[in-house]
Structure 1
Amino acid sequence: MERQTYTVDEVAGVLGVSRGVAYGQVRDGVIPSLRLGKRWVIPRARFDAWLAGGGA
């Protein structure tokens, strides 16, 4: 079964930005994400749609 989420580090790599920039955009709601306890996860389908320009 394929994972349904990305980590912030994985998203930073995809976008070609630093880990700090990616965390900032996640916290600010720019990148679609969910907070699970102390951990941020980025739903794969929502991120892929956001990246393609379809919004969150």
Structure 2
Amino acid sequence: MVNGRLYIDTPKAEKDELKKIARAAGKRAIWDRERRLWHVDADIQPELIGRWLPSQGT
């Protein structure tokens, strides 16, 4: 997380779905050209974007 942004690695084929989910939650999904990653507002519910979050081990 950087400056209230949660960076996630979303495949190009799934970008529209990410944007739709974020919009439905009242959030934004934005492409960061410099980092070449999508980011969403950090306060989005993690279960909405869980498939794009890095796994936490095990």
* TM-score, structure 1 normalization: 0.36
Q: Which has the higher helix share?
A: 1
Q: Which has the higher strand share?
A: 2
* TM-score, structure 2 normalization: 0.36
